[in-house]
Amino acid sequence: MTSPDREKRSGLKDEVLAGEYVLGALSADVNAELAKRMKTDRQFAAMVRRWQENLGHTTASEHRSFSYYMNASNDHALRRQGDRLNRGIYGRFEILSAVWNSVRFWRLTTSAALLWAAVLLFSVA
């Protein structure tokens, strides 16, 4: 029963090593040692290939999304610079959003509403 546990631990350790090898998180000596091991150990080489395939898809999609984001933000910046109408509209919305998000505005509005309610309450009575 002890040998399967040792094999499992070795398998998990190999998975971690394969992942670190693909990510480039190991020292040059360990990388060289693992490169030699990949030539002789098919199972370890398969783990490394699986890590490379999985991370390759992730890296490609990250590059695609990052480049799309950069292109979109650059296009937006270029459009806004040349369009005076957009600047005027965005400026108005900026003022309105600043007022809407202002704590002072809402405190003043609440105070005025309470004062008006008190005036109405005491004038009727």
Instruction: Concatenate the DSSP letters of all residues of 58-109 into one string.
Output: HHHHHHHHHHHHHHHHHHHHHHHHH-HHHHHHHHHHHHHHHHHT-HHHHHHH
Question: What's the pLDDT at 95?
Answer: 77
Residue 26 is given by DSSP the state S
Q: What tokens appear for 31 in the block?
A: 């990388």
Angle of the 28-40 helix axis to the 2-23 helix axis, nearest 10? 120
Q: How many domains does the chain have?
A: 1
Distance CA 60, CA 18 (A): 20
pLDDT per position as a tens digit, 90-125:
666 777 778 888 899 999 999 999 999 999 998 876
Question: What's the pLDDT at 75?
Answer: 57
pLDDT at residue 59 is higher than 80: no
The domain in which residue 72 lies consists of 2-124
Distance CA 121, CA 125 (A): 7
